Structure 1
Amino acid sequence: MTDSVFNYAKTDYQKPLLLLGQRPGLFDTVNRHYPEIWSLYKAQKSLDWDENEFDYSSCNADFKTCPRATYDMMIKTLAWQWEADSVASRAIAPVLAPFITSSELWAAWQRISDNEVVHAATYSEIVRNSFDDPGVILDEILRVQEAHDRLSEVAKAFAAGYEASHKYAIGQLPNDQTTYNAVFMTIVALLCMERIQFMASFAVTFAICDTGLFQPIGKAIQKIAQDELEIHVELDRAVLKNELASERGQTAFAQCRSQIEAMLEEVVDSELRWIDYLFSEGRELVGMNADRLSAWTLYCAKDVYQLFGLSTEKYSLPAHNPLKFMEKWLNISKTQASPQEQDIAAYKVGVMRRTDENQVFDVDF
């Protein structure tokens, strides 16, 4: 058996590297190397859910009767969300797998990949159940060129990571700084998509749902937002902070700094262009406008700039959340209705833990 399948010669069980360390051997929970990452893996398991938990039939009537501007905004937002999560569902584990050398990190990213399948399937089910002829809407979604352009920068980074990972897996790339930089930039791109781009789309969805329309879609996408913000983004952050504290990560940041700054600027610019397009052609949305959505996008981007200790003269990054209504949508417990009103969404599975093991209790009879 080659060490690419099982590494019998592995000697770093006490503290393996997250990325590009010794090839994996035993899946190890004896040594707890990265407790924060393991905790995020467990949290993602506890948030398990299914794309068919919500009844989207009422959305069929909403799409038929809502204002045309609202219809267009929802369709265009769904187009990007469906496309982006389709990419994420196929790109995370396959691209990063050859680089991962930690049991905790493999557990977390493969679970997140599974979760991204649920996200992509949710958007597909929304379309399948919300329209009389889903095929027509599918064609309409695929024609939104602006949505494809919006994903282009992150897609290019994923493509570079995909090529590097497959070449590394078959021995065509060495385990050197250049290869490390490729995986580092892939993770940066993943963070940009999940912390900046998804958050901007969620704001449009939730602003529409705040008008009373598309409530099942709102509840489903609220579950997606919870996954992204509480787990996916925090895993990206934990990995990058760990790597930035290492010599190899510091070298990667020094060598890729200008590339990171360019990627951040290009992602933010693409979001601002998208927002201008979304509010063009007479489209309006109650409680939302292009300026407020742009400010929210910059507020989300500030978190990524701060993680890397970067500043920007091009944008004015808001000090406070410009969309207060997002707080209730991103905290799922604040919008929980009773089961009689609508499908419940605020729950976790597998969260009960035994704390009485090996304890002896006195019982009075």
Structure 2
Amino acid sequence: MPAFNKNIFDTTKEYMFFGEELGVARYDKMRYPRFDSFVEQQHGFFWRPSEIDLSKDKHDFNNKLSVNDQKIFIENLKYQILLDSVQGRSPVSILLPLCSLPELETWIETWSAFEVVHSKSYTHIIRNVFNDPSTIFDSILETPEIIERANSVTQAYDKLERTTLQYKLDGVVTDELRLDLFKCMISVYALEAIRFYVSFACSYSFNERGLMEGNSKIIKLINRDEYLHQGATHFIMTRWIRGVDDPEMTRIVHDNIHLITDMLKETAEQEMSWAKHLFKDGSVIGLNEKLLANYVQFLTNECLGHLGLDKVYDVTSNPLPWMDKYTRSDDVQIAPQEAELSSYIVGGLDSNLDDFEFEL
């Protein structure tokens, strides 16, 4: 793609993807001002992991966590590092070359930048909790269960990248390319809305016991960002579902709408398998494999419902209601007396997910 498109055209008439290459970055007139709102909200959430004190966490890890607790903490940390390593670079490297709107371009860049903050957060945790960070980082890709998830997480991105290379050579938007973009967006939605939550639940369960509180504060902030990213991905997908953007993408989506259910269910099954792996040597206080499996099913049903699709699991209520105080965006804000980062909620920005309108 050229660094700057010199053609004169109206960006408000472009689709989200597969249109004119990007030229003047202007935000006075936008086809989808909602993307600019996502950018402003994400900027309002700005935070630095170095502001969180983890000195107590090191003591907790070494003196208060059981051997099984320690294993679960480490395994989840490695998995979180993997997920945000993918999300820190893939939206910019894979999605941005297909983008046709300045406001979407800025959102993708902002989104990726905050995923990098998440990655740096895990390094901050590891440096402060472990004497030798290399023991964690060097073992990430030595864990078969993590390698399996790495393949699943990157598959859709990798396939889209391959079809995009052909598109950049011949300029032809094929149905294969459209389908690959749709699959990639489903995969991203599943990652942001389902994949993180087994590890999040484990982190919050330690906090419920008064342990690893600094880590939990960081995870809360990451969780809030991921909720915003989920909302933006949902917004993209519902433009296609509702037929208000590219009619060719809507045709592909409607013809393959079953893929949303199939891919979200596949993600849920993988995360339930991850929970089984975590608890193979025993549960932790207040949390076990069955509860986490039901929670994953509950989240999957919610995600399908947000897209107007039928539920696939029998779970009708949240099996971990205490999680809401950590995961629901209007509760995620940390009160001044509870953490150092409360001042980063700036500009009167409301973190309620209603701002994204999870609706069809």
Same fold (TM over 0.5): yes
Q: Hey, what does 1:233 align to over in structure 2?
A: 230
Give the partner amino acid of 1:298.
Answer: Q
CA contact (8 A) 1:119 1:224 kept: yes
What percentage of residue pairs aligned between the two structures are identical? Answer: 25
Q: Hey, what does 1:187 align to over in structure 2?
A: 185
Q: Hey, what does 1:198 align to over in structure 2?
A: 196
Aligned equivalents of 1:335, 1:90: Cα separation in 2: 27
Aligned equivalents of 2:4, 2:348: Cα separation in 1: 32
Q: Does 1:223 align with 2:221?
A: yes
Alpha-carbon spacing, 1:105–1:111, altered in 2? closer, same or farther (3 Å): same
Instruction: Indicate the SS of the match to 1:52.
Output: helix
Q: Does 1:269 align with 2:269?
A: yes
Would you say how many aligned residue pairs link Structure 1 and Structure 2?
Answer: 344
Deviation at 1:153, TM superposition (A): 2.0
Aligned equivalents of 2:192, 2:171: Cα separation in 1: 28
Query: Which range moved further: 237-246 or 219-228?
Result: 237-246
CA contact (8 A) 2:46 2:344 kept: no
Aligned equivalents of 1:110, 1:95: Cα separation in 2: 12
CA contact (8 A) 1:219 1:345 kept: no
CA contact (8 A) 1:332 1:346 kept: no
Greater C-alpha radius of gyration: 1
Question: Aligned-residue CA RMSD in angstroms?
Answer: 2.2
Q: Hey, what does 2:10 align to over in structure 1?
A: 12
Q: Hey, what does 2:354 align to over in structure 1?
A: none
Alpha-carbon spacing, 1:137–1:23, altered in 2? closer, same or farther (3 Å): closer
Deviation at 1:120, TM superposition (A): 0.8
Question: Equivalences for 1:1-365 in 2 at 5 Å?
Answer: 4-65=2-63, 66-168=65-167, 170-172=168-170, 174-229=172-227, 231-246=228-243, 247-281=247-281, 283-311=282-310, 315-316=313-314, 318-330=315-327, 331=329, 333=331, 336-339=334-337, 342-345=339-342, 347-351=344-348
Contiguous gaps of at least 5 residues in structure 2: 350-360
Deviation at 1:266, TM superposition (A): 1.9
Aligned equivalents of 1:305, 1:334: Cα separation in 2: 23
Query: Which range moved further: 75-84 or 171-180?
Result: 171-180
Deviation at 1:350, TM superposition (A): 4.4
Aligned equivalents of 1:334, 1:24: Cα separation in 2: 36
Aligned equivalents of 1:346, 1:267: Cα separation in 2: 36
Q: Give the TM-score normalised by structure 1.
A: 0.87
Aligned equivalents of 1:10, 1:183: Cα separation in 2: 27
Query: Which range moved further: 170-179 or 101-110?
Result: 170-179
Alpha-carbon spacing, 1:167–1:10, altered in 2? closer, same or farther (3 Å): farther
Deviation at 1:257, TM superposition (A): 3.5
Q: Which runs of 4+ in 1 moved over 6 A?
A: none
Deviation at 1:57, TM superposition (A): 2.2
